[in-house]
Structure 1
Amino acid sequence: MKSPVRVMLIIILIILVVAGGTVATAMYLKHHRHQAATAATATHQLSAKEAAALQVSLPQMTTNLQTSGLIQFTVTLQADKKATKNELTLMQSQIEDSINQIMRQYTPDQLRNDKGLNSLKQTILKSVNHMLPTGSVTNIYFSQVLVQ
């Protein structure tokens, strides 16, 4: 009597192990394919001409900093696609206002080194991307920064 129960339990255990291995393999392959597709998309570099066609340059702005001081700067936003560039152009006033608000949170000392400027770029990037209904900005370029 014990022998048929034991055989049945062993068969059930083997089925569970095989099913678990199949599910784990399927999940691994799905994740691996997704990562490969994402990496292939991310590695596509725009040519200089394509990148220039997707840039929106904002006019020169001057803003008071957190403590006494001024910053005069020019910003260019790199859009990910043409539709995003159109959104950026339409939302230019809101974006300029947001960037000025962000600038007021920094001190002159913070903006006089690369670490502070990189932090500023990341903050602007997050803020602008949060404002956009679709698409995204992939990079922020400062063509001129003067901190007084």
Structure 2
Amino acid sequence: MADEEKKEQEQEEEGGKKKKKSKLLLIIIILVVLLIVGGGAAYFFVLKPKADNKAEAAAAKKKEVKAEPAIGPLYSLDTFIVNLADPGGTRYLKVTMQLELDSEKVQEEMEKRKPQIRDVILTVLSSKTYAEVSTAQGKLALKQELIRRINLILTTGSVKNIYFTEFVAQ
């Protein structure tokens, strides 16, 4: 009987060892699966969004470009040559410009009011002296005055900016 009990105990111990080995093997398999799943999740959530961030950044740049104010329709004017208001009347100013409008509708009105607009521009230009138009600040002030005076005439829209394409003061 003692032998039988020893054999049963040995068998139980072997069975216990097998159970421990199978539990250990199960734990190892579970850990490996968790590592694989965790690695995949880490790749998906950490590495993949970087590519998405690049795409989002590119899309954001496009939106920024679109968000920047675009140049409105341009209206070209003929060249103006006027005598400046200097004593002696020997100085003149030659200017070619384009008007930036706030909408397409204003172009039709600009055509209808072209004589009035030319008159305003000629009046303003001929009232300036060489000292007033020869500096950068003077040109900027001239632009602002022309914009203000032309916008007083317009009813369907306005002039946003003036671009001098030729400016000669002599």
The structure showing larger relative contact order (alpha-carbon pairs under 8 Å, at least 6 residues apart) is 1
Task: State the 1:102 CA deviation.
Answer: 0.2
Which residue of 2 is the match for residue 100 of structure 1? 122
Which residue of 2 is the match for residue 83 of structure 1? 105
Which residue of 2 is the match for residue 62 of structure 1? 81
Q: How many percent identity over aligned positions?
A: 28
**Larger Rg, first or second structure (1 or 2):** 2
3-state SS of paired residue (1:106)? coil
User: Would the aligned equivalents of 1:56 and 1:89 in 2 still touch at CA under 8 Å?
Assistant: no
The code of the aligned residue for 1:57 comes to: S
Structure 1, unmatched stretches of 5+, are: 1-42
Q: In structure 1, what is the Cα distance between the partners aligned to 2:155 and 2:122? A: 21
Query: 1:29-68 alignment to 2 at 5 Å?
Result: 45-46=69-70, 51=72, 54-67=73-86, 68=89
Using the size of structure 1 for normalisation, the TM-score is: 0.65
Q: Mean alpha-carbon deviation: is it higher for 81-90 or for 138-147?
A: 81-90
Using the size of structure 2 for normalisation, the TM-score is: 0.57
RMSD: 1.3
Structure 2, unmatched stretches of 5+, are: 1-66
Task: State the 1:98 CA deviation.
Answer: 0.6
Q: In structure 2, what is the Cα distance between the partners aligned to 1:77 and 1:90? A: 15
Task: State the 1:44 CA deviation.
Answer: 5.0
The runs of 4+ residues in structure 1 deviating greater than 6 Å are none
Q: In structure 1, what is the Cα distance between the partners aligned to 2:156 and 2:101? A: 11
3-state SS of paired residue (1:125)? helix
